[in-house]
Amino acid sequence: MKQLAVENSYRLSLSGSCGWQLQAVPELESWLQQFCRIMELQKSNDQKLPLLRCLTEDRYGYDRKTLSTNVGTHNIHSIIQFPAVKLIFYNNRDIDAIICKEGIGSKTQGFSIEAMPYLLYPLHNQIISEGGLLMHAALAEHEGKAWLIAGKSGSGKTTCSNQLHGKWKSLCDDECLIVKNSSDGFSAWPLPSWNEFINNGNSIRACTTTHGFPLCGILYLEKGNDSNISSMNSALSTLSLYYAALAKCIRYYQIYDGIARKNINGIMLNNTDYLARQIPVYRINPSYCNNIQELLEKIAGII
């Protein structure tokens, strides 16, 4: 069995927190470099970090029990098949691998981008276990503070983001991480809009892993609301935000068996309940998206 040879390593973490070391075989080096440019990740050779290895199944063989690498042979706990990749989990749970389907480096742009979010699975899993969430939402930023704009698909999150101007900035319009801080507050971290890279090869919004933004409030877009702004009670906020989180976390559902899936659902529900109790949530009619900045400024007390 051929051993993995790597040269460049990158650190995947948020603001220097415990993270993972990303490596790729030569055939996938340019693909990993593109991912790291999108995520603004820096090179790192921290041997203490757990490794996430990017391999190709056509040249780097493995069986259902072991995988051979340059640091030894590891027992495999499970292999999960996705459309673009396979994820490998080891018995010690601190060294994972991602197996990219044959020829991913020469496939279309969309196929290559489609596989990238799976590199973030360990980070997402850690954030959720620590009280945070992966959310299907947009982020608006004003003078260093963040406002979450959530809602069902097609409710107008991107439209709202595109309306922001002046001192207001659109950090992302599709998905973000909500991280629970030690002070019981939350910070928001924008993630790439992968479809923008698939469709356009680039994005007008930059991603950062060096710092988050304090989360001050949440706007939930929902049709049928008579007034332009109304507060949501904690029960309705919890349910609405839970489904906003589920819309993105379902990407990884194949990883969990039935019991584990119920457990992760319970954790996400608890996390959204706590978030809804700590951060004010406002319901906004999507027909007011063209005035989203004015509504944000009213809520924030700027005007």
Contacts of residue 298, defined as CB under 8 A and 6 or more positions apart, other chains included, come to 229
Question: Would you call 19 helix, strand, or coil by DSSP?
Answer: coil
Please state, in angstroms and rounded to a whole number, the distance separating the CA atoms of residues 105 and 59.
Answer: 13
Looking at domain 130-300, does it have CATH number 3.40.50.970?
no
pLDDT of residue 227: 60
Q: How confident is the model at residue 106 (pLDDT cuts 50, 70, 90)?
A: very low
For 264-274, what is each residue's pLDDT tens digit? 899 999 999 99
Q: How confident is the model at residue 107 (pLDDT cuts 50, 70, 90)?
A: very low
- Is residue 133's pLDDT more than 80? yes
Question: Would you call 258 helix, strand, or coil by DSSP?
Answer: helix
Look at 68 and 1; give whichever has higher pLDDT: 68
Q: Which range among 42-51, 129-138, 198-207, 290-299 shows the weakest confidence by mean pLDDT? A: 198-207
pLDDT of residue 303: 41
- Is residue 250's pLDDT more than 80? yes
Q: How confident is the model at residue 25 (pLDDT cuts 50, 70, 90)?
A: confident
Scanning the structure block, which residue is given the tokens 């503070």?
145
For 73-99, what is each residue's pLDDT tens digit? 656 655 666 666 666 666 544 445 566
pLDDT of residue 205: 65
For 217-244, what is each residue's pLDDT tens digit? 999 998 765 667 788 888 999 999 999 9
Closest to 150 in 3D by CA, of 200, 219, 89, 207: 219
Closest to 279 in 3D by CA, of 230, 228, 221, 238: 238
- The domain spans of the chain are 9-125, 130-300
> Running DSSP on this structure, what letter comes out for residue 142?
E
pLDDT of residue 81: 61
Look at 83 and 20; give whichever has higher pLDDT: 20
Crossing angle of helices 258-278 and 121-129, in 10° steps, is 60
CB count, 10 Å around CB of 179? 21
pLDDT of residue 14: 83
Would strands 281-284 and 213-221 be described as parallel, antiparallel, or unpaired?
A: parallel
Alpha-carbon distance values, 18 to 50, 89, 126 (Å): 9, 19, 10
Which amino acid belongs to residue 67?
Answer: L
Give the mean pLDDT of 11-40. Answer: 83
CB count, 10 Å around CB of 88? 21
Closest to 178 in 3D by CA, of 151, 217, 220, 143: 217
- Is residue 143's pLDDT more than 80? yes
Q: What is the pTM of this model?
A: 0.83
Helix runs in 40-174, H state only: 109-115, 121-129, 157-163
> Running DSSP on this structure, what letter comes out for residue 28?
G
pLDDT of residue 289: 67
Mean pLDDT of the chain: 79
Closest to 30 in 3D by CA, of 132, 125, 105: 105
pLDDT of residue 68: 57
